[in-house]
Structure 1
Amino acid sequence: MDKETLPRWGWLLVGLFAMGIVASLLNATVIGPAGVPEQFQVITVITAMAPVLIYVGIWYDEDRQRYWEHSREHVVGDLLFIVAGAATGSAIALVAIVGVGLPRFVQDIAAMAAGFMLSWGLFWWRNTDLYREMGER
């Protein structure tokens, strides 16, 4: 894939759209029939989209290309931390607010914020060297 084909936001949009479709298919074929309430199915979407939000930036930024020099195990471990963080953060947020009576849209936004922040925080915790130089500039 050529970085110059689309700007960063274009790759981000394509990735998020693709993962949204994958998550919706998973919800329709597995998660929904398993009996998970519809208000909790947003966790699947958030979990699928979190790696896109993190990895598009790392892939696109020239000063972060050294990340790809890590071992395959390290990258897979990071991916597992991102997925686990997104699922855990969004689930905790939803469990805390689902009975409060907030509109579904607000619940989804709160779950997205919590899931994405926890997943990025776990990624940052494992890769502080990627972001250390930003603060020193």
Structure 2
Amino acid sequence: MVLVANAFNMAVLRPAGVPEEYHVITVITSMAPVLIYIGVWYDEDRQPYWEQSREHIVGDLVFVIIGAAVGSAIALVAIIDVGLPQFLQDIAAMAVGFMLSWGLFWWRNPTLYGREASR
């Protein structure tokens, strides 16, 4: 997914004039579903998730993608002019983007993580 996001950055965003500092948003947005769904895919306790309707799963995916894009964009806009090194800006954007993305996924599937929440 990182290769696809970077190809998109080079083919679309760079020619459109989007500053390079914002290219990390597409990488975060493309990786958020991978990180979230790997845990759901491999955890035996979460296998009932895949028995839900296709529409529900696609809706979750849309929430994950939008959450990652919005969260990372908000973080970058807030810190882009602070003077932090690019690496720290990217890490902050990733943290906020992934947390908002996972939060929206959890919000749509609270029973999936019910046992962890009750501990």
* Fold shared, TM-score > 0.5 on shorter chain: yes
In the TM superposition, what are the counterparts of 1:7-46 in structure 2 within 5 Å? 19-46=1-28
Q: Which residue of 2 aligns with 1:72?
A: 54
Distance 1:90 1:136 in 2: 29
Which one of 85, 91, 106 corresponds to residue 73 of structure 2?
91
SS in 2 for 1:32: helix
CA deviation profile, 1:54-99 (whole Å, cap 9, x unmatched): 0001000111000001111100000000000000000000000000
The one-letter amino acid paired with 2:99 is M
The one-letter amino acid paired with 2:23 is Q
Q: Which residue of 2 aligns with 1:8?
A: none
Distance 1:117 1:53 in 2: 11
Which one of 109, 112, 119 corresponds to residue 101 of structure 2?
119
The one-letter amino acid paired with 2:76 is L
Q: Which residue of 1 aligns with 2:116?
A: 134
Q: Flag the structure with more relative contact order, 1 or 2, with Cα contacts below 8 A and sequence separation at least 6.
A: 2
Detail structure 1 runs of 4+ shifted over 4 Å in the superposition. none
**Structure 2 length normalisation: TM-score?**
0.97
SS in 1 for 2:15: coil
CA deviation profile, 1:85-135 (whole Å, cap 9, x unmatched): 000000000000000100000000000000000000000000000000223
RMSD: 0.8
CA deviation profile, 1:32-68 (whole Å, cap 9, x unmatched): 1111100000000000000001000100011100000
In the TM superposition, what are the counterparts of 1:49-68 in structure 2 within 5 Å? 49-68=31-50
Aligned residues: 119
Note the C-alpha offset of 1:30.
Answer: 1.0
The one-letter amino acid paired with 1:75 is I
Q: Kindly, what percent of the aligned residue pairs are identical? A: 71
